[in-house]
Amino acid sequence: MISWLQTNFQRHFRTLFLVLLAVLIVSFVFTIGAAPGIGRGDERVQARTFFDLNLSSPEDQARLFGDASLSISLQLGYTGFGSEQVQEYALQRYAGIHLADQLHIPPPDKTELQEFILTLGAFRGPDGAFDAAAYNDFRAQLRAAGQYTEADVARVLGDDFRFNEMQRLFGGPGYYSDSEVALQLERIDTEWTVQVATIDYNSFNPAINPTADQLQAYFDANSFRYDTAPAIRVAYVEFPAARYLSEVTVTDAAVRAYYDANPARFPAPARAEEEAAPVIGDGSTDADFQAVRAQVEAALKLDRARRIAVDQASDLTVEIFDANLTSTGIPTFIAASSHTLIEATPFTREAMPAFLGSDPRNVAAAFTLSAERPLSDALPTPTGAVVLVWQESIPAAPSLYINVADQVRADYLAQQKRERFVELGASLRTALQTQLASGQSFADAAAAIAAGPGVTITTSEFANFTRRTPPADYPRTAIAPLEQLKQGDVSQMVIAGEEGVLVYAALRQLPATDASNPRFAEIGAQIAESNASTTASEIIRRMVEQELGPAQPAL
């Protein structure tokens, strides 16, 4: 039967047979050809599914984390979170949106979206309320940066709205106990009158005379702190951008385009007072450009000269690579190429040499060099470009005590002073309590206890405030001690920076902690909302863990 079919197909459907054969062959090649060449089998990686995303895909990762970063900026008004925090939020946010899709939670209508925008941190003014100017500034910065479009923002806002709705549904009405409300009211609405003694650390100068044995013992216990850091010694060829400025020509259109792309770099000079508020349509934008045109042209020429410098440096590295030279032959080749090889002093990662500019990536590139890889790529710098040639790698090494004796002594004295300052705080607290119990005022008691150790103590009083609304000048260091203080107590000394703080609770007036307090219901609602959010977050966290699975590594 098979032979009959094959014969008839070949006789009557020769073209169709050839097409099918071609399809089979191509499919076969793409299926098993997971090797260098067609199919790029060498670049394939195992898919890591996360709902409908592939976490191994750069495009899906960019979408996941790009949306999360924009969401954080919109929600809080700032960024700067660590990569682990952003990753955790990105995964939980996407899981929540996926769940919202399954529940068919609709996107916000126009009114809901407007109300949602009013709550976002990115658009709050100094008073914490929505600020139209902040909103307009955000949109202007968005257009200038070019990283996100307004369509991206609208999409992320819609997803964030639906994510919040999903959390509200899964969190439920929340719960709280009367004792939780009472505790919170006591923490934030207790009325305080306190007096604060601030001890100046720099005025504390105890007599510390360490013996040689004490210093040696300190060094032995902390010798790792005095190891010399790894260093590297290189030589370099410099390609200054100034050398190529004469080769650069720019058009008026290019200068204007460069200005339009970088307006923040070229602020217009201050206008005369009568011109301080230009009228829209008066051509002020063009006037601003003309006022700084010379600066813009110079910056554009320098930028293009730097590109030429990088290209010239790259050409040299290619020539050396093509010559297949070892580290010993590179200097001779460079000299024959009419370039100057400059010897640099050894440097560590923490002590960046001036010729590398301020880019830490250049230092990192330097520390990848070795005898096996003696030549760097062309490294751009603010003044042009450099090419590094490895000379020597200097490993970390322990230091001899005699070579770091002065540093050891300084560190020992600093440690001993800090320890004795802590001990001083305990003794001052006891003495202050004794003086106050004898009827002395707080200021007089502080002056009396300061005389003994010879330290400078300043006092201040803050009356009738709560932790919810502390005075503007109330020391942040003095907030935490209120957690444990009772009326008439003096706190343990809290050390922050170059001062220590003792807090005396002259008055502690508790609020009503039952339903008779008008804020009882308000605080209860806040606790319920917080507990509901925690419930929803736990559900989403478990969804993420289940979807990732124990076998999948972190991103």
Q: At what angle do helices 150-171 and 132-145 cross, to 10 degrees?
A: 120
Exposed, middle or buried, 169 (CB in 10 Å: 0-12/13-18/19+)? middle
Tokens of 3: 């032979």
pLDDT at residue 17, rounded to an integer: 38
pLDDT band at 533 (very low <50, low <70, confident <90, very high): confident
pLDDT at residue 23, rounded to an integer: 39
pLDDT at residue 531, rounded to an integer: 85
pLDDT at residue 461, rounded to an integer: 95
Q: Work out the mean pLDDT of the chain and round it to a whole number.
A: 83
Instruction: Give the best-scoring range by mean pLDDT among 15-24, 31-40, 467-476, 528-537.
Output: 467-476
Q: What is the pLDDT of residues 129-165, one digit of tens each?
A: 788 888 887 777 776 666 777 788 888 999 999 988 8
CA angle 249, 263, 282 (to 5 degrees): 105
pLDDT tops 80 at residue 429? yes
Residues 291-296, mean pLDDT to the nearest whole number: 88
pLDDT at residue 311, rounded to an integer: 93
pLDDT tops 90 at residue 59? no
CB 173 within 8 A of CB 536: no
pLDDT at residue 146, rounded to an integer: 66
pLDDT tops 60 at residue 12? no
Dist CA 523 CA 174 (whole Å): 13
CB 309 within 8 A of CB 384: yes
Dist CA 553 CA 50 (whole Å): 12
The DSSP secondary structure of 407-445, one letter per residue, reads: HHHHHHHHHHHHHHHHHHHHHHHHHHHHHHHTT--HHHH
Q: What is the pLDDT of residues 98-114, one digit of tens each?
A: 888 988 999 999 899 88
Dist CA 179 CA 546 (whole Å): 35
First to last CA, the chain: 55
Structural domains in the chain, sorted by start: 2-41 (no CATH), 49-173 (no CATH), 191-211+404-509 (3.10.50), 231-261+284-394 (no CATH)
pLDDT tops 80 at residue 551? no
Radius of gyration, alpha carbons of the chain: 35
pLDDT at residue 529, rounded to an integer: 82
Q: Which amino acid is at 431?
A: A
Torsion angles phi and psi, residue 448, rounded to 5: -70, -45
Residue 426: Cβ within 10 Å count: 11
Among residues of the chain, what percentage have pLDDT more than 70?
A: 86
pLDDT at residue 191, rounded to an integer: 94
pLDDT tops 60 at residue 460? yes
pLDDT at residue 282, rounded to an integer: 38
Burial readout 190-211 (b: 16 or more C-beta within 10 A, e: otherwise):
bebbbbbbbbebeebeeeeeee
pLDDT band at 243 (very low <50, low <70, confident <90, very high): very high
Dist CA 227 CA 407 (whole Å): 12
pLDDT at residue 138, rounded to an integer: 78
More confident residue, 501 or 359: 501
Nearest C-alpha neighbor of 180 from the set 530, 537, 518, 467: 530
Residues 307-320, mean pLDDT to the nearest whole number: 93
Query: Cα dist. 122→85, 338, 355 in Å?
Result: 19, 56, 40
Sequence-separated contacts (24+) of 91-94 with Cβ below 8 Å: 91/50, 91/64, 91/544, 91/548, 92/537, 92/540, 92/541, 92/544, 93/67, 93/68, 93/159, 93/160, 93/163, 94/50, 94/51, 94/53, 94/64, 94/67, 94/68
Residue 446's H or E segment, with its range, is: helix 442-451
CB 506 within 8 A of CB 193: yes
Secondary-structure percent of the chain, ordered helix, strand, coil, rounded to 5: 55, 15, 30
pLDDT at residue 143, rounded to an integer: 67
pLDDT at residue 274, rounded to an integer: 47
Dist CA 92 CA 364 (whole Å): 34
3-state SS assignment for residue 201? helix
Torsion angles phi and psi, residue 464, rounded to 5: 55, 60
pLDDT at residue 129, rounded to an integer: 78
